[in-house]
Amino acid sequence: MAISDVEIQSVKQRFGIIGNSPLLNNAVSVAIQVSPTDMSVLITGESGSGKESFSKIIHHLSPRKHGQFIAINCGSIPEGTIDSELFGHEKGSFTGAHEARKGYFEVTNGGTIFLDEIGEMPLGTQARLLRVLENGEFIKVGSSKVQKTDVRVVAATNVNLMRNVEEGKFREDLYYRLSTVPIYVPPLRERGRDIELLFRKFATDFAEKYRVKPISLTDDAKDILLKYRFPGNIRQLKNLVEQISVLSTDQKEIDADILQRYLPKETSLPALYKGATPEKDGMSERDILYKVLFDMKKDFNDLKKLVLDTFSNPSKASQLVKDHPGLFEDMHPEPSNGSPSEAVVLNLPAGNHHIDDNEHVEDVHDITHEAEDDSLSIEKKEKELIVRALRKNNNKRKYAARDLGISERTLYRKIKQYDLED
pLDDT (tens digit per residue) in 160-189 = 999 999 999 999 999 999 999 999 999 999
Average pLDDT (278-302) is: 57
Q: What is the pLDDT of residue 336?
A: 44
Q: Who wins on pLDDT, 158 or 1? A: 158
Least confident of 83-92, 180-189, 318-327, 404-413: 318-327
Q: Where are the domains of the chain?
A: 5-186, 190-262, 285-417
Least confident of 55-69, 263-277, 358-372, 382-396: 358-372
pLDDT at 67 over 80: yes
> Which of 214-228, 306-320, 361-375 shows the highest mean pLDDT?
214-228
Average pLDDT (279-293) is: 53
pLDDT at 83 over 50: yes
pLDDT at 281 over 60: no
pLDDT at 304 over 90: no
Torsion of CA 376, 380, 381, 387, to 10 degrees: 160
Average pLDDT (370-385) is: 64
What distance in Å separates the CA atoms of residue 368 and residue 104, rounded to the nearest whole number? 52
Q: What is the pLDDT of residue 18?
A: 96
Average pLDDT (191-217) is: 96
Which top CATH class is 5-186?
alpha beta
Average pLDDT (268-281) is: 44
Are 55 and 103 spatial neighbours (Cβ–Cβ below 8 Å)?
A: no
pLDDT at 41 over 90: yes
Q: Residue 80 — very low, low, confident or very high, per pLDDT cuts 50/70/90?
A: confident
CA distances (Å), origin 328, targets 201, 203, 238, 323, 364: 68, 67, 60, 11, 19
pLDDT at 348 over 60: no
Q: Which fold has domain 190-262?
A: Helicase, Ruva Protein; domain 3 (1.10.8)
Q: What is the DSSP letter of 101?
A: B
pLDDT at 121 over 90: yes
What distance in Å separates the CA atoms of residue 371 and residue 298, rounded to the nearest whole number? 10
Q: Who wins on pLDDT, 182 or 390? A: 182
Instruction: Tell me the pTM.
Output: 0.65
Question: Which stretches within 114-249 are classed as H helix?
Answer: 123-135, 161-166, 172-178, 194-210, 219-227, 233-247
Side chain identity at 315, as an amino acid letter? S
Q: Residue 394 — very low, low, confident or very high, per pLDDT cuts 50/70/90?
A: confident
329 half-sphere exposure, CB direction, 13 A CA radius: 10
Q: Residue 133 — very low, low, confident or very high, per pLDDT cuts 50/70/90?
A: very high
